[in-house]
Each structure stands twice: as C-alpha cells, then as structure tokens.
Amino acid sequence: MTNAALITAQDVMKVYDTGRVEVRALRGVTLDVHKGDLLAIVGPSGSGKTTFLNLIGALDVATAGRLNVLDRDVSALSKRQRADLRLHSLGFVFQAYNLVPVLTARENVEFVLELQGVGAQRNKQAMEILEQLGLEEFADRRPNELSGGQQQRVAVARAVASKPQLVLADEPTANLDGENAEILLTMMRRLNKDHGITFVFSTHDPRVVAHARRVVTLVDGRVAKDETKTPVPLSDGSGESKENAPCGTSAPEKPKGRSSWPCGLWFLPV
C-alpha cells in the first residue's frame, strides 16, 4: 500500500500561551502525508513549520483539531505512549545534529537501539547501518572529532537505525555547505527510494526543495500551497535507472569515500 496515509492532520491548531501573550502558531492545518512521500515544508520564519513537526513527532500536543500519526491519535496518547511512538516508530534529524557528545558515532547509534531493547546484536547492527551509509570510518569518533556534515550523516544513521517508517527533519541542512548538503540529501533520497522511508523536512533551503517530491508552504499557520513536483536527479553516480536494482544484481559498487547503500538494509521497513 504505497498510498496509505501515515499522517492525517485535520484543522490542527496550536496556541502557545506564554502567560503574557497567546501565539496562534497553527491556525487550522489540514494535510495528509502518504507512505513514500518526500515532503518539504517551507514558509517564512514563524509560519509554524517547527511547531507542526513537533506535533507530528509527538514532542508536543495540538490545542485543537485531529492529528493521526501512524494510525494513532496523538492527542489521545499519554506522555509515555508518545515517548514509545517516538522511540519505536519515528526518526528525528535536527538542525543542530543533537548527537550525544561523549559517545562515539557507533555508540550514538547503539544508544537508540539499546533504548529500544535490542540486546547483544546492537553493536553489530549499529556497525552495519554505519557501513551501509558509508560512515564506517567515523564509527569510533566522537562528535567533536567529526565535521558538521559528518555529524549530520551520523544523525541520519541514528534516525534510521530505529527502523522508523517516518523520519522528521527540522532544517537538516541549515548548517551544511553545498557538498555536505548534497551528500546528506542524496542519502535521504536513497533511503526514501530504496527502503520506502517517508521523510518530512522543514526547510528554508532551496537545495532541500530541489530533492523533494512534494512542497507544502505554510503561511501564518495555514497551508497556503501544496505542490507535487519532480525531484532533481540523484547525484551519487549510481544513476536514476539503478534506483530499483534488486540486491545482488546491477546495484552499483559503493564508491570510495561516498555514501552508498544499495542493498542489505534488511532491518528497515519497505
């Protein structure tokens, strides 16, 4: 079922009450996100992009309206149930990387797996995802020993190691230069295309928009535009025609020093 709605938002409102002022951040957002979408949420600063992602990610609750995420009515969930939803079904990538500074790249990935209850396998599983994303050389480095782009790629590995159907990314390229943004976006495109992971980004970045298949514009807490488009071709040298190459057939060799993950992400949902 490629058209199943993973997210259904109906007239979702969010009011922040700071005690002094009420901020109406979302004023009735209605939107469906389907399995396989690669959706960029754009709009002026303050239009409600992060607020909406926080609601989808069960980090916060709506003031009014209906919001279903992965068949759960998130407003009706307890704090504990929301934490479970985040841990077991969602992946997050933030602008500021948010890796645990005292842990190595591998330990950062393992940490999520440990919280999920993965046992002795977690070391192997963490290493596998890092290898498949072309990050094995960084496995034993701590975040301060990695560039921003490398940290953000580790953050994506951590986000997808938890086998999510849905990955939410709040301005994931905001701190990246052109080359690192391209590597990161190509990585996410592959995970979307080859493994059916649905991505929802908030962004101001035209590079992200170029890779998106759908662009939703928020203005003043409302959906002002919802467009479907053709994304730019992938630039990892493997060619669009090989995107669906079955494992072990014509899948490209992993280019040295570049990310490639044609096969073997067996633990990811498809």
Ligand X SMILES: Nc1ncnc2c1ncn2[C@@H]1O[C@H](COP(=O)(O)OP(=O)(O)OP(=O)(O)O)[C@@H](O)[C@H]1O
Binding residues (CB under 5 A) for Mg ion: these are 49-50
Nearer to ligand X among residue 60 and residue 107 (C-beta): 60
- Residue 57 binding target from Mg ion, ligand X, none, CB below 5 to 8 Å by type: none
Give the residue with the Cβ less far from Mg ion, 49 or 158.
Answer: 49
Residues ≥6 apart with Cβ < 8 Å to 122: 110, 113, 114
- Closest distance to Mg ion from the beta carbon of 51 (Å): 8
Which CB sits closer to ligand X, 75 or 123? 75
48: partner contacted, choices Mg ion, ligand X, none (Cβ within 5-8 A by kind):
ligand X
Closest contact distance (angstroms) between CB of 84 and ligand X is 24
Helices (H), the chain: 49-56, 79-89, 105-115, 122-132, 148-161, 178-195, 206-211
Interacting residues with ligand X (CB under 6 A): 16, 18, 23, 25, 43, 45-51, 202
CA angle (256 as vertex; 113, 164 as ends), nearest 5: 25
In the bound complex, what is the minimum distance in angstroms from residue 225's beta carbon to ligand X? 15
Rounded to whole angstroms, how far apart are CA atoms 82 and 174?
Answer: 27
Q: Are 217 and 229 in contact (CB under 8 A)?
A: no
Give the chain's largest Cα–Cα span.
62
- Least distance (Å) from ligand X to the CB of residue 51? 3
